[in-house]
Chain A
Amino acid sequence: MEKPLTGNFRADGEAVSLSEYERSGGYQGLRKALLLTPAEVTELVKKSNLRGRGGAGFATGMKWSFVPMGKDAPHPKYLVANADEMEPGTFKDRALMERDPHQLIEGMIVAAYAIEADIGYIFLRGEYERSYECLARALAEAQASNYLGHNILGSGYRFEIHLHNSAGRYICGEETALLNALEGKRAHPRTKPPFPQVSGLWGKPTIVQNVETLCNVHHIVRQGVDWFRGLSKTADGGTKLYGVSGKVKRPGLWELPMGTPMREILEDHAGGMRDGLRFRGVLPGGASTDFLVEDHLDTPMDYDSVQKAGSRLGTGTMVVLDDQTCPVGMVWNLEHFFAQESCGWCTPCWSGLAWTEKILWAMEQGTGSTRDLETLKFQTKFLAPGNTFCAFAPGAVEPLQSALKYFAEDFRRHVDEHRCPWRR
């Protein structure tokens, strides 16, 4: 099985150097792209059915096609790699940046070329210190070898990349809050429309793209659309980095064909549950996705199938709940995180999550009431998409709303028994 994204990883866990990267075909995608027109590159990506790996799954080529092109287009245009990986349970971009940093850089240059961007930013999660070091070194190497800078490889194209490590906050992963943060403003999301493709960083056309998405781009150019679509088990092209955390035998990260069934990932790759524990549920794509349960284990892990099952593929990194862990406690843990990270911009989010977290904590302490249960249900509807300013709060209540559905009995017991039944 081909593993374009991780196939090059060194066994010792160190980052791939430029020479190693070049030996295995690195920067060939870029060389090939520079012989095409930007429109041709975008067209390839469109045909490849590459969808955004940050969680929303928006078609990448389509997104690029909204960028104003040609000589009347505003400049500078920007390409931003969203490397602010803060979704609880998610650690896929980190692996890509720490172990094969040139892959992101090459993907960025090709993507930038396609939209005629002038300046690139890598907006990196503040805590990812090792990623920072690896990327900084790789950027210097790429600059020295004329993959970046003026007249890249003699093509006349010019592009530079700045590495920015975030001051922190989950909301910076929201693409427009990210842009505000990059501009030095408070990181709250922006009004859409206008979309960043038209008016983004410093008011100029901007594409914000997840790290994993960008890492695919040059492979598509180099090896072709058919090859890329052939990697996948579904209509969405390519492979996908799937991760598993929780009480499984072998938590980890694997590059597998897009659409690999959940059961295969959990059982074949993660080795199934630890001895003595039973599977109860899983957050398929990080903390802000709905729980799926035993009945859903045969769902192919692709955007449409997971959505059909009632959740979202999200980042594709699963968090597993076992039968010895309190689901209310787990949800409290998640909602505590989300309540902490609400940017405070819109009322439903800052008020609803703070209240939700307090109720869940009260339930864990044995002081939750039936009225609290109703409030929890109310909040899951109140924080629905469209009611809030951005997608943060609707995502934040996804694990809660599904837990209330699948683990209703557990919530009930917390209220009726005035204690957490898992606490001894």
Chain B
Amino acid sequence: MTVATIFIDNAPREVNPKQNLLHVCLSLGYDLPYFCWHPALGSVGACRQCAVKQFRNEQDATGKIVMACMTPAAEGTRISIADPEVVAFRAGVIQGLMQNHPHDCPVCDEGGECHLQDMTVMTGHRQRVYSFGKRTFRNQYLGPLVNHEMNRCIQCQRCVRFYREYAGGHDLNAFHLRDSIFYGRHEDGVLESEFSGNLVEICPTGVFTDATLKHHYSRKWDLQMAPSICVHCGLGCNITAGERYGTLRRVVNRYNHEVNGYFLCDRGRFGYEFVESSLRIRHPLVDGKPATRSEALERFGAVLRKGAVIGVGSPRASLESNFALRALAGPDHFFAGVPDEESRLISAMVRILRDGPARSPSLDEVEHSDAVFVLGEDLTNVAPIMALRLRQSVRQAPMRLAAGLHIPEWLDHAVRETVQDAKGPLFIASPYATKLDDIATATYHASPDDLARLGFAIAHAIDATAPEVIALSPELETMAAKIAAALRGAQHPLVVAGASCRNRGVIEAAGQIAWALCKVGSPASLSFTMPECNSFGLALMEAPPLSEALRTVRSEPVSTLIVLENDLFRRAPANEVTSLLRGVQHLIVLDHLGNPTTDAAELVLPAGTFAESDGTLVNNEGRAQRFFQVLNPSTDVQESWRWLHEVSVAAGSKSMERWEDLDDLTATIAKEIAAFGALPKVAPPRSAVGKIAREPSRYSGRTAMLANISVHEPRPPQDPDSSLAFSMESGPGPVPSSLIPFFWAPGWNSVQAVNKFQSEIGGALRGGDPGVRLIEPSRESVWQYFSAIPPAFKSRSGEWLLIPVFHIFGSEELSRHAQGISQLLPRPYLALNPAEASLVGAKAGGRIKILIEDSQFELEIMLRADLPRGVAGLPAGLPPFDGIQLPLFCKLASVGTEFSARGVL
């Protein structure tokens, strides 16, 4: 990076000349107030808060006021932040902003973490001079997730800029003008964007606040917080979770430049409420009845002594918990708790990333790709933040147009006005239309096999030595050539795929394209989505799939099945699960929410959710990231790995005695499984760092909150596993980036305090972003092109290929139990192409009968013209159909028809 020297209040400072003055001043640690600017949104010069005085040269004593956010940090620039005139101007801007702002901080949810409060204090505006009435608005109902309080608005424009320009939403807008712009919807209603929750953080004051927090409100300063990882998809977004009075209160974004940056999706932000759901298991259950801890441990020990054990792990449990079960049951008797097909697909993805030349990119690298091909994925619903990143990636290529006119990237509206609707190449091939289609160069909707064929054809078009696809239609041939050309012509091409289609061909085709690109010298990236938060980590353990567990139960004398944080009825059809459960005498389940599997268990142990646990998850990039306990562990709830350790020690097992705490455990895993060699480096060991307070220094009620029980202040609970303390007391020294419990700095109470933790604004956290990549592409070129290209899909007469249709709210197991999100779940339906609906006499909104293998259901019909012929859609993960392993062929008939053995059609 080239460096420019600028002078700030006469002090020479080295800065990034590609940036604006506000960016570099904040990067240097100056407190320069701002509102409309945001590191991810760039500069528009609306609020006028970041004014500085600029001087022409050393002799110029007058200078002129300029907006720091709108002025390049060019070599030799001379500015003053402290000049009295500009200090007075900045106070004047706050005075103007506060003109209509209500004095309701004490009752405002934003109070205590309000950027407007911080900036007001920073500018020194104290006395209200304005004595006239304030403008008022009617607030809107925006759904169960985001609350609206327009009187507080300061018209910084950030909400609409994020919602519309950045996130591609349509239903939030600016209405009216002058000092009474209304930011809202054209009418009351649930915000449509999957990223609406970011308004809570984007809004510098209390217009948009977290509606779920409102139900169990606490000030930020009263929250006990810890760094955590989102468990609601495979991307591993970093979150900060907060607790008060023993319950989890909320989740906010935890900046990680490489992963989620500044934003979370609504599932990730609001899914946390499952922790306090009524299904929560808080005490051990023995034979369905509440039991004490010692009774539970006693029963566990007794069962263990009876005979052989097998363990079923989980892609939503930590590496540590999975490993603990593996250690207890033995590597030969530990099974991945995922369906066979999914297990094979994920292994295939891991193998492609490990054995081939294409690298899995971080989400930041995804955003900076300049040509993208998405194969088979509905990203907005499966990996939402990747979709948000791709929305930015299509701006990469056109940005060069603006650069040609010397318009800097950060001058946001100037860039957008120049670029207009020009978008870089993004091609989407998926089984049905996805929300990202609106920014796609071209789309192709077809059955999974046909998608795979297009993928293989693209690979062949890139590198002729890749196998050819036989009998491809001329249209697809043309499309493949077009996509191949776009990818080849890019500086940073990216291929995205995943297991959503449950189709091996799709995954291999995606790998094939990336490999072909690498072979012709292009630095291609290959990003696979993962179904769950630790699918990747579990796959690295290379445990056999669920059917192997059943085979083992049938072939060996197994007396006990231990299921770790897994509802087997979501993993396999009920009859298969039932036959597995019948094959053992004892079923022990460790989980946190009640489900059909816990219902069937002899012993249920209350497992900690992410909020009560420490552990490591591996995201879709292959990045291992640690999450830490937020809640004080004074109940029976604890990490699954700790339960398993206690049990095995009590039962006299020798295998686990070597580890007592998290650091011991991660060291053991690193030693036993080569893939996890770097695990201890994911976060510094407890011994290496001094105490880090989970509670802010203004945490209130410490001496009062238990005074009704005892006036003696109790000793804070101890955390045996990390340097994070359940207290307000911190040791000296900097906090490592992976252990930052919350972003706060003097004068910066809002989430924008993250400025003070970054090496450069919008760049990496100081000391590097958290997480360690566990896989890198192979250096040896041992890979070979896949040759198993599926034949073209042929629709069957009277039968439909049933595929999963994903929903951000509903398809994921845990978040659907969050109170807010539960109000937004779709009703079960069957999606069908309208052209085919008449074949079975179906009408939109009517009902239809569906025969899957031997079971019959009735479902509401949804007509979707984007569904390929011969393909029908079923919402993924939605009970009671969550155990059905899609895709499979089904038969359809109008309600009232009886299915005969051979079908009715």
Contact = CB atoms under 8 A, between A and B. Distances in A.
A371 B420 contact: no
B795 interface: no
B92 A378 contact: yes
B64 interface: yes
Interface in B380-423: 401, 405, 407, 411, 413-414, 417-420, 422
A386 B64 contact: yes
Contacts of A351: 95-97, 99-100, 179
Contacts of B177: 169, 341-344
B407 A194 contact: yes
B97 A193 contact: no
A348 B155 CA distance: 11
Interface string B43-75: 011111101000000000000111000100000
Contact of B65 (A179, A386, A389): A386
B417 A348 contact: no
B46 to A, nearest CB: 5
Contacts of B46: 345-347, 389
B413 A191 contact: yes
B399 to A, nearest CB: 13
Contact of B181 (A198, A344, A348): A344
Interface stretch (A102-110, A224-232, A352-360, A403-411): A352-360
Contacts of B64: 386
A352 B129 CA distance: 12
Interface in A175-211: 179, 186, 190-191, 193-194, 198-199, 202-203
Given A344-B179, A346-B46, A190 B157 contact: no
Given A202-B420, A346-B47, A387-B51, A191 B93 contact: no
B49 A371 contact: no
Contacts of B45: 191, 346, 389
B89 A354 contact: no
Contacts of B405: 194, 198-199
Contacts of A375: 129
Interface residues on A, range: 35 or more
- The B interface is mostly helix, strand or loop, or mixed, namely loop
Interface in B161-185: 174, 176-181
A190 B65 contact: no
A347 B129 contact: no
B97 A347 contact: yes
Contacts of B66: 386
A206 B401 CA distance: 17
B49 A199 contact: no
Nearest to B93: A347
B86 to A, nearest CB: 10
A180 to B, nearest CB: 8
B659 interface: no
A345 B157 contact: yes
Contacts of A199: 405, 407, 414, 417-418
B130 interface: yes
Given A194-B407, A343-B177, A351-B97, A389 B48 contact: yes
A350 B417 contact: no
B402 to A, nearest CB: 8
A347 B417 CA distance: 22
Interface residues of B, number: 43
A388 interface: yes
Contacts of A340: 178
A358 to B, nearest CB: 4
Given A203-B418, A346-B46, A388-B48, A382 B65 contact: no
A135 interface: no
A383 B132 CA distance: 20
A386 B177 CA distance: 21
Nearest to A384: B65
A83 B358 CA distance: 58
B48, B97, B129, B411: most-surrounded residue (chain A CB, <10 A)? B48
Contacts of A80: none
Contacts of B407: 193-194, 199
B418 A350 contact: no
Contact of B132 (A203, A348, A358, A389): A358
A339 interface: yes
- The A interface is mostly helix, strand or loop, or mixed, namely helix
B418 to A, nearest CB: 4
A199 B402 CA distance: 9
B417 A342 contact: no
Interface string A86-106: 000000000000000000000
Contacts of B419: 203
A234 B227 CA distance: 72
A300 B104 CA distance: 55
A347 B96 contact: yes
Contacts of B179: 339, 342, 344, 350-351, 353-354
A202, A347, A386: most-surrounded residue (chain B CB, <10 A)? A347
B93 to A, nearest CB: 5
A351 B178 CA distance: 8
Contacts of B100: 351
A190 B96 contact: no
Contacts of B154: 347
Contacts of B178: 339-344, 350, 353-354
A375 B92 CA distance: 11
A296 to B, nearest CB: 27
B70, B92, B407: most-surrounded residue (chain A CB, <10 A)? B92
B242 to A, nearest CB: 32
A157 B176 CA distance: 42
Interface in A351-405: 351-355, 358, 362, 371, 375, 378, 382, 386-389
Nearest to B154: A347
A341 B420 CA distance: 27
Given A351-B179, A388-B48, A389-B46, A382 B92 contact: yes
Contacts of A169: 177
A179 B420 CA distance: 13
A190 B92 contact: no
Contacts of B65: 386-387
Nearest to B422: A203
A362 to B, nearest CB: 8
Contacts of B129: 371, 375
Nearest to B173: A186
A327 B268 CA distance: 60
A355 B407 CA distance: 35
A191 B414 contact: yes
Given A203-B401, A353-B179, 13 more contacts: A191-B45, A194-B418, A198-B405, A199-B407, A203-B422, A339-B178, A347-B49, A347-B154, A347-B155, A351-B95, A382-B89, A386-B65, A388-B48
Interface of B: 44-49, 51, 64-66, 70, 89, 92-93, 95-97, 99-100, 129-130, 132, 154-155, 157, 174, 176-181, 401, 405, 407, 411, 413-414, 417-420, 422
30 contacts: A190-B413, A190-B414, A193-B407, A193-B414, A198-B405, A202-B420, A203-B422, A340-B178, A341-B177, A342-B178, A343-B177, A344-B174, A345-B157, A346-B47, A347-B48, A347-B49, A347-B96, A348-B96, A350-B178, A350-B179, A350-B181, A351-B95, A351-B179, A371-B129, A382-B92, A382-B96, A386-B65, A386-B66, A387-B89, A388-B48
Top 6 A-B residue pairs of the complex, sorted by shortest distance between their CB atoms: A351-B96, A354-B179, A199-B418, A191-B414, A350-B179, A358-B132
